[in-house]
């Protein structure tokens, strides 16, 4: 564990089809800006790919972040989000470092103090020659549940639990979570939080994800379990190839937009994402239909937390391919009117209503009739499968009543 601010880090990557990483380049800070340059050995490889275009083209010399950014988006995508930052900050404080100061949560520190099992195909090391993964301690789901709960509550951890939770400190999102190996499968375990209140957040996400699958959306596989009396959602990772050491590179929609972490919802747009799909994605017509279906499903299930980090694409060095959907989680809602975080229509319209989605269908190369059919099918599936999926989730009558008509099929959404 470091106690001083790091001056540089080396970026390692898993190339397509590779089981082991290679060093790709170096990052270092120039004030508040993190610059990058490729290593000579990487540029000389016949199988080298740019970590992402247009951000980091394969060339010699310093590559600063694009205009408006302090760090390349594809590198930021591999760094901890708010939950991981909490874990890292707590570990540094426990080790005697002044982790409560902003200097100790600078990008390079976050890179080198978080676990190595990151989203996508990048990792960060202090050495350009030897790869030593961090946070590889195995732990049971019971131990991980206890560790996440204690961090969520601000309680101390045993050294063993601390090492186990480090493994999952590199993944994004604000909610408590950890990484788990289940034979050949790599899973993300998502836990309840002390801030949930009466909202059955974990069960609600399971129900939404399972209903999305039944409605024909391409979603990450999920299952629900109960550990130490707590609901735990297990999400199968799609950035790993089961039974192998291979990793799949991906970038978030925030990176596709070329926007910084501190950007505002006013800058986020599904319609702009649709334009990027048409220009840069494999199977653009099918992808646009899938994207539109996800928007409608978010509206119908009250998932208004649809920010650009909750959308991603695989990157193969040339083209992008939409990943399975994830983080479809109904949000707390007190009344009828609601809005999505990303604009649905090119005009900037973002209200959570099916009718508005249908009006914007042309932006996704769909007719109004096709768009309406997608919405009607999803409504029919939610209505017909609701009881069965809620039964599978062990949802009580009170929990169902809390979600139905408020998050799921809110009258405002149906208007």
For the domain that residue 170 is a member of, what is the CATH number?
3.30.200.120
Q: How far apart are alpha carbons 257 and 263 in whole angstroms?
A: 10
Q: Which residues contact 320 (CB under 8 A, 6 or more apart)?
A: 251, 256, 276, 277, 280, 281, 282, 313, 314
Tens of pLDDT along 42-64?
Answer: 999 999 999 999 999 999 999 99
Q: Which residues contact 190 (CB under 8 A, 6 or more apart)?
A: 175, 176, 177, 202, 205, 232, 233, 234, 235
- Residues 196, 107 share a domain: no
- Residues 204, 173 share a domain: yes
Q: How far apart are alpha carbons 171 and 123 in whole angstroms?
A: 12
| DSSP-based three-state secondary structure for 344 | coil
Query: In the structure encoding, which two tokens stand for residue 409, read together?
Result: 């099929």
- Residues 87, 165 share a domain: no
State residue 103's pLDDT score. 40
- Residues 373, 260 share a domain: yes
Of 125, 153, 181, the domain-final residue: 125
Residue 18 lies in a domain: yes
Residue 358 lies in a domain: yes
Residue 168 lies in a domain: yes
Residue 242 lies in a domain: no
Categorize the per-residue pLDDT at 324 as very low, low, confident or very high, splitting at 50, 70 and 90: very high
Q: Which of 240, 184, 168 is nearest to 19 (CA)?
A: 240
- Residues 343, 232 share a domain: no
Rg (CA), the chain: 21
Q: Which residues contact 232 (CB under 8 A, 6 or more apart)?
A: 141, 145, 189, 190, 191, 192, 202, 224, 225, 226
248, 121 contact by CB (below 8 A): yes
- Residues 228, 82 share a domain: no
Of 125, 158, 188, the domain-final residue: 125
DSSP state of 129: S
Tens of pLDDT along 333-373?
Answer: 877 899 999 999 999 999 999 999 999 999 999 999 999 99
Tens of pLDDT along 303-319?
Answer: 999 999 999 999 999 99
β-strand pairing of 312-315 with 250-252: antiparallel
Query: In the structure encoding, which two tokens stand for residue 170, read together?
Result: 């590199």
Mean pLDDT of the chain: 90
DSSP state of 104: G
Sheet with 8-13, side-by-side order of all strands: 33-38, 22-30, 8-13, 122-125
Q: Which domain holds residue 257?
A: 250-414
Residue 23 lies in a domain: yes
- Residues 224, 263 share a domain: no
β-strand pairing of 312-315 with 122-125: unpaired
β-strand pairing of 185-191 with 177-182: antiparallel
Of 202, 236, 270, the domain-final residue: 236
Tens of pLDDT along 241-271?
Answer: 988 999 999 999 999 999 999 999 999 999 9
* CATH code, domain with 397: 1.10.1070.20
State residue 19's pLDDT score. 97
Q: How far apart are alpha carbons 360 and 285 in whole angstroms?
A: 16
Residue 1 lies in a domain: no
Q: Tally the domains of the chain.
A: 3
Residue 241 lies in a domain: no
- Residues 392, 254 share a domain: yes
Tens of pLDDT along 138-170?
Answer: 677 887 777 777 777 766 666 666 666 665 566
Categorize the per-residue pLDDT at 102 as very low, low, confident or very high, splitting at 50, 70 and 90: very low
Q: How far apart are alpha carbons 9 and 21 in whole angstroms?
A: 15
- Farthest-apart Cα atoms in the chain, separation: 62
Categorize the per-residue pLDDT at 227 as very low, low, confident or very high, splitting at 50, 70 and 90: confident
| DSSP-based three-state secondary structure for 261 | coil
Query: In the structure encoding, which two tokens stand for residue 313, read together?
Result: 């694409």
Q: Which residues contact 176 (CB under 8 A, 6 or more apart)?
A: 83, 148, 149, 151, 152, 190, 191, 192, 193
Categorize the per-residue pLDDT at 37 as very low, low, confident or very high, splitting at 50, 70 and 90: very high
- Residues 273, 187 share a domain: no
402, 200 contact by CB (below 8 A): yes
State residue 409's pLDDT score. 97
User: Is the pLDDT score of 110 beyond 70?
Assistant: yes
- Residues 168, 107 share a domain: no
Categorize the per-residue pLDDT at 173 as very low, low, confident or very high, splitting at 50, 70 and 90: low
Residue 316 lies in a domain: yes
- Residues 34, 96 share a domain: yes
- Residues 217, 183 share a domain: yes
């Amino acid at each position: 564990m470091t106690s001083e601010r790091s001056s540089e880090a080396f970026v390692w990557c898993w190339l397509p089809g590779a089981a082991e990483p290679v060093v790709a380049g170096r990052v270092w800070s120039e004030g508040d800006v993190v610059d990058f340059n490729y290593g000579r050995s990487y540029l000389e490889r016949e199988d080298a790919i740019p970590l992402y275009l247009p951000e980091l083209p394969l060339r010699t010399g310093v590559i600063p972040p694009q205009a408006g950014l302090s760090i390349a988006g594809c590198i930021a995508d591999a760094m901890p989000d708010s939950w991981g930052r909490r874990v890292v900050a707590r570990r540094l404080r426990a080790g005697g470092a002044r982790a409560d100061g902003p200097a100790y949560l600078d990008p390079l520190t976050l890179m080198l103090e978080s676990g190595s099992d990151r989203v996508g195909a990048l990792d960060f090391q202090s050495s350009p020659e030897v790869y030593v993964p961090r946070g590889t301690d195995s732990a049971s789901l019971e131990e991980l549940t206890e560790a996440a709960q204690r961090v969520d509550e601000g309680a101390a951890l045993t050294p063993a639990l601390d090492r186990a939770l480090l493994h999952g400190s590199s993944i994004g999102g604000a909610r408590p979570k950890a990484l788990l190996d289940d034979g050949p499968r790599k899973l993300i375990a998502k836990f309840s939080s002390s801030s949930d209140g009466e909202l059955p957040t974990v069960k609600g996400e399971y129900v939404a994800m399972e209903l999305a699958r039944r409605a024909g959306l391409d979603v990450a596989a999920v299952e629900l379990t109960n550990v130490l009396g707590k609901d735990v959602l297990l999400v199968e990772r799609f950035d790993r190839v089961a039974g192998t050491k291979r990793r799949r590179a991906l970038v978030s929609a925030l990176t596709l937009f070329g926007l910084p972490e501190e950007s505002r919802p006013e800058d986020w747009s599904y319609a702009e994402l649709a334009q990027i799909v048409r220009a840069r994605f494999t199977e653009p017509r099918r992808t646009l239909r899938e994207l539109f279906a996800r928007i409608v499903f978010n509206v119908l299930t009250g998932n208004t937390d649809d920010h650009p980090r909750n959308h991603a694409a695989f990157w193969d060095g040339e083209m992008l391919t939409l990943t399975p959907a994830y983080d479809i989680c109904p949000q707390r809602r007190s009344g009828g009117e609601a809005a999505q975080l990303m604009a649905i229509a090119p005009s900037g319209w973002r209200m959570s209503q099916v009718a508005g989605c249908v009006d914007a269908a042309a932006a996704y190369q769909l007719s109004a009739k096709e768009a309406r059919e997608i919405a009607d099918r999803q409504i029919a599936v939610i209505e017909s499968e609701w009881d069965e999926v809620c039964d599978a989730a062990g949802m009580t009558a009170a929990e169902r009543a809390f979600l139905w008509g408020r998050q799921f099929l809110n009258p405002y959404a149906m208007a």
